Amino acid sequence: MKLALVVSGASGAELGLKFLEYLPEDVECHLVLSENARTVLKHERNRVIPHSDDDIAASIASGSFGVDATAIIPCSMNTLAKIACGIADTLGTRAAAVALKERKPLLLAPREMPFSPIALENMLKLSRLGVHIAPPVPGYYAQSESLEAMERFWIGKWYDLLGIPHELYRRWGSENGIER
């Protein structure tokens, strides 16, 4: 599986990087960090050295490269708005535009609180086009006892939506899953 992971400049950029940690070995992951994600990472985590997403000629900018699924974690309201309007002026937004035109799975994890009516309209528009709108919302039934366990729950839910196998959280009605 070829996966494009875009980390945009919403709070929680580190969560996007954690998403990488549990990927099975047969997933080829292309990582794009927006310029603003780099700024947020500098505020929130010093030891990450991210890369720019101005390489609009990268492989994942073309539909012919054959990315199977694209995830934007976290997705800023800026990036959300661009995708909803068809703006593709960065590698990240171009990757999303490619996913839409190729009818491939696209997952957005919008991070904002509260959401403005514009953001909600953008999410509804994209959801109606088949985009997974999956913000990092706590699932209390998972009974996570730490932020890390909650993050594993979110990542597991995102993997589910993208068809990536995992045992990151205990499913309802099941005893299987990683220790909390």
Ligand X SMILES: Cc1cc2nc3c(=O)[nH]c(=O)nc-3n(C[C@H](O)[C@H](O)[C@H](O)COP(=O)(O)O)c2cc1C
| 162 binds ligand X, rule: CB under 6 A | no
Q: Which ranges of the chain would DSSP assign to H, the alpha helix?
A: 13-21, 35-44, 77-85, 91-101, 117-128, 147-162
Q: Quick count: other Cβ atoms within 10 Å of Cβ 13?
A: 28
Q: How far is the CB of 81 from ligand X (least distance, A)?
A: 9
Sole window of 2-10, 22-30, 63-71, 121-129 interacting with ligand X (rule: CB under 6 A): 2-10
Per the rule left: phi > 0, alpha: psi between -120 and 50, beta: everything else, 120 is alpha
Which residue's beta carbon is nearest to the bound ligand X?
Answer: 9
CA dist 34 and 169 (Å) reads 29
- When binding is defined by CB under 6 A, the residue of 55, 112, 160, 167 that contacts ligand X is 112
- When binding is defined by CB under 6 A, the residue of 70, 79, 122, 144 that contacts ligand X is 79
- When binding is defined by CB under 6 A, the residue of 32, 37, 60, 99 that contacts ligand X is 37
- When binding is defined by CB under 6 A, the residue of 77, 91, 97, 150 that contacts ligand X is 77
| 11 binds ligand X, rule: CB under 6 A | yes
Contacts with 178 (C-beta within 8 Å, 6 or more apart), sequence order: 152, 167, 168, 169, 170
Q: How far is the CB of 112 from ligand X (least distance, A)?
A: 4
